[in-house]
Amino acid sequence: MIWFFVLLLVLVFTGMPMFMAIASSVLFMLLFVNGIPAETVVQRMFSGLNQFPLMAIPLFILAANIMSRGGISKRVIALTNSLIGKVPGGMSVSVVLACLFFGAISGSSPATVVAIGSMMLPAMLKKNYPESFATGLIGSTSSLGIIIPPSITMIVYGAVTGTSVGELFIAGLSAGIVFAVVFIAYCIFYGKKYQLISDEPWSVRQILLRTKEALWGLGIPIIIIGGIYGGLFTPTESAGVAVIYAFLISMFVYREMKWKELFDVFVDSGKTTATVMIILASASVLSWYLTVEQITVQVTEFMTGLTENKIVILLLINIIILVAGMFLDGSSLIVILAPLFYAIGVSYGIDPVHLGVIMTVNSAIGMFTPPFGLNLFVLMGISRQSLLKLSKGMVPFIVISIIVLIIITYIPTVSMFLPNLLYSK
């Protein structure tokens, strides 16, 4: 067992693409240790993608790209700015709300960084917000994109563990709102401390105008979430509905996306989908190998042998995922660790949905944690700052996020109240 993980880590740190590192590690072990034919790897990769819930991923990616080109983000930002008025730190609060809304549209953290950061970072700097605070806020709150449904990370977790994506989505909604509320409280505190108060008056007329402009775009998360929990369609079917709705709004209502741009949208979506799917294919091989070799059982027995205390086990799980999140993106982290921790969680009576939320929140924190947080690299392109400078600005937001993680971990009701209520658990 130990040699397999050593080989996997060596390949990852050599810079090899994640899917190649996973598949190559399994292939090596099968050929030279187990004596199993190499074609088994290919067979398991294809069978791993033959799952109905995974159809949602390319559709949500396509919907997000259509909406990004269709003027959704700027309308959402204009609406959130009008809602805040002269609240201390008002513009920073607007960033949190904009990321919350856009995350519910895109399901992607890097996409939220680009959509919100490219518009709000220059505006915050113009209003005398410290650059470190502005970049730290945008980089961290954009991670709401993988907590708030539709979350691609949660779809991946559901596919890997067999957990209900619908329950994961509603639990993620609760956790995301808690995340946003804590960040808003910090923004107001920071704004009051440093006298960062907007000079724009609060106007009912302006709010109504901005709401009217953004209404069609805001309808997308309502349709997705309402349709799923209203029993109209499954999470996978909701992705298809989102694509059609986004296309109609972008092309015929906002009219900001032209027909000739549609081809580029399909190409970009195809590239992103291919990246995600090849990782999932290799993950299915990894999950199969861990099961066949009973590695999940061995790890479970090892951790349960350390302690029988559920609180300590949850702490260990969080520490391991937080460290892994510094080096891996959310999807890769889930596909590698979810099969292990799912088995451990079941043995300790941890609800798989609650565990999925814990892993997703950890993944979200990893998106803006040095040295390899993906949001940091996206921000580097937007802000023209060095990785070191961006990393310093992230420190207070990482601390706040870990506090929220502790709340979600040890007070399950925070994320599980709505799933338990809706699914009569």
Domain boundaries, the chain: 1-38, 54-269+285-422
Question: Residue 404 has what pLDDT?
Answer: 93
Q: How many CB atoms lie within 10 A of CB 119?
A: 17
Residue 87 to residue 113: CA distance in whole angstroms:
24
The DSSP code sequence of 17-48 is -HHHHHHHHHHHHIIIII---THHHHHHHHHH
**pLDDT value at residue 53:** 65
pLDDT of residue 107: 65
pLDDT by 10s per residue, the chain, length 425: 677 778 877 887 777 776 788 888 888 888 877 777 778 888 888 877 777 667 777 887 788 778 777 777 678 777 777 777 678 888 888 889 888 877 776 666 776 777 677 778 888 888 889 999 999 999 999 888 889 887 888 888 998 888 988 889 889 988 999 999 999 999 999 998 888 876 666 778 888 888 888 888 777 777 777 777 677 877 678 778 888 888 888 888 888 888 888 888 899 888 877 877 787 787 778 777 876 777 756 766 676 677 778 899 999 889 888 887 776 677 777 877 888 889 888 888 899 999 999 999 998 998 898 876 778 877 877 787 887 888 888 999 999 999 999 999 999 998 898 888 877 66
Check residue 367 and give its pLDDT. 84
Instruction: Look up residue 176 and give its two tokens.
Output: 């995301």
CA 17 to chain CA centroid, Å, is 20
As a dihedral over the C-alpha atoms of residue 197, residue 198, residue 199, residue 200, rounded to 10 degrees, the angle is -150
Q: Which residue has the tokens 């290799």?
A: 282
What is the SS3 assignment for 88? strand
pLDDT of 194 reads: 86
Q: At what angle do helices 109-126 and 131-141 cross, to 10 degrees?
A: 160
Instruction: Compute the distance between CA of residue 356 and CA of residue 97 in angstroms, rounded to an integer.
Output: 24
Q: Residue 130: how many CB atoms within 10 A of its CB?
A: 14
The CA angle 193-206-134, to the nearest 5 degrees, is: 35
pTM of the model: 0.74
Q: How far apart are CA 147 and CA 283, in angstroms?
A: 21
Write the single-letter amino acid at 195.
Q
d(CA 415, CA 361): 11
Q: Determine the Cα–Cα distance for residues 168 and 338; give it in Å rounded to an integer.
A: 14
